[in-house]
Structure 1
Amino acid sequence: MSLPNYQEFMLPFLTAIADGKPHRISDLIDRLADALTLNDEQRSELLPSGQRVLANRVGWARTYLKKAGLIESPERGLMLLSDRGRSVLNENLQQVNQQVLDRFPEFREWRTAKKDEGAGEGPSPNAETVASLTPDEVMEAAYRELNDQVASDLLETLKRSSPYFFEKVVLTLLAAMGYGGVHGGSLITPASGDGGIDGLIHEDKLGLDTVCVQAKRWEGTVGRPVVQGFVGSMDMHRSRKGVVITTGRYSQDAHDYVNRIEGKKVVLIDGVQLAQLMIEHRVGVAARRTYVLVDLSQDFFDEQS
């Protein structure tokens, strides 16, 4: 008997946390195994990476339920049934799957964003999809899906961090991207009197070329007034370069404004871009495992002829 797929874990997951108390995902894994009467072989089945298949599928069920707003995370590692989740449970559905989750705009928006970025439809292609894809395409889709989940976790963690820590993260990222150079450096400005500037990057030893940084944990949309205020504050540091980074997003008016500025160059980085840059430059993440794909070396065999 094969293990339930990740969608088949969704309804048992909601039921297991229906008591209204926060639960740790590590505890839920074994509780769900008991609820579904899984045998020892099913509980211990491993992926090539060494992770239990059971834990992997329960983890993806949690991700999808959370994206649909059926569960909440009061703090890292804890899961709590939301009001929406309780409402779904009260419908006495036979199953909860992606079709059910598609009712909710947050979930549809997330899936649409994933499609726009070229990511896969789910945590792993189904049998029908696999049949139409090459092995390289299957691996690429899985890679994008995993990165998407890490990016989501990163952004959520950043939103819960302190303002000072978030500023440190931003400056660390910019340094990892090469800003500041070998002889430059960066610093966080004082909490008061910074004129809207949260950090400064000196791209040379004497500070003759300075980049102003604003790093804010905004939840919603950042409009033109915030960006315009930052641009004005750059004059206090005689800077012509600036970066505004947020965990939220920017309005079209804000983008239009920075594109019209004369004499200054300002870059806007939203939450999605921030998370992807952190992954790309290995800030706040660690490599879990590496796969090496090989091809036949025709040169090697040509030498034998």
Structure 2
Amino acid sequence: MARSFTIEETGFPDAPGMMLATVKALKEMGGSASIAELDEKVVEIEGVSEEEQSFEMVNNPGTPRLNYYLAWARTYLKRGSALENSSRGVWALTPIGSSIETYEQTQKIYDQVVEEEKERARLKRLAKSGKANSDTIALQLELPSDTSPNSADEAEADWEDKLLSVLRKMDPSAFERLAQRLLRESGFTKVEVRGKVGDGGIDGVGVLRVNLVSFQVYFQCKRYTGGVSAGEIRDFRGAMQGRADKGLFITTGHYTAQANEEATRDGATAIDLIDGRRLCELLKSNSLGVSTEMVESVTIDPSWFESV
């Protein structure tokens, strides 16, 4: 079956093709999916290679080009009323989306959104020049304004990108000690950093107690910017074979869809994966080098004072 799109190291992919692949993936998944589930399904049905998944945005290292442009594909489809998304990050087909079967249909939505943006830009120029009348300004306000993918997550992605930049500059041994501290804060005991040459890439080991049962967990941590492949997961599993109950792979990068599948392959020792975004969340929740500030909002009720 012919691919709907391709991802290259530079240049823009076929947006309508990615939109069509997104619709196809959602249909195969029953009409709704989380972003991670949806991206993995697109990889599966389109046969996207691990090399394609490893390509990153030039101006935003650490962000896979595939996932970035799939986010834009969802945005275009939402603007065309073909998709909707909930506050929990679940995307679903609308009746319009369910009716999409061809490339021409997604091309039409794409062209519609592009024209809306051109019109918005023209109206903004008029408003800036002082030549816009009230009708022009009203039309500008009526045009859809959600022009960025996952706009609700932009603020969160900003601090995560800054933190990942710091983590990737750490000395390898310091990063291993950070992983050790994080595991201890998360309830592990007897956490040791090994990192010996010839130890098959195993960086450390710890014990996790769950109720009455304890598990020995080997971990590996890598300061990557790209994607961790299925081969690297297999190599890690081979190194820990017969030595641990579970494995934990921590990276500042991301995992390919094939790596995710390999980590949970039937009949093999399970390996849990923590990517860069998840690592940031864990550091924040454990207050390890990350602090949060709650802003107080004060509301005054004048009518309350009148009744005193």
| TM superposition score normalised by structure 1 | 0.46
| TM superposition score normalised by structure 2 | 0.46
The structure showing larger relative contact order (alpha-carbon pairs under 8 Å, at least 6 residues apart) is 2
Q: Which has the higher strand share?
A: 2
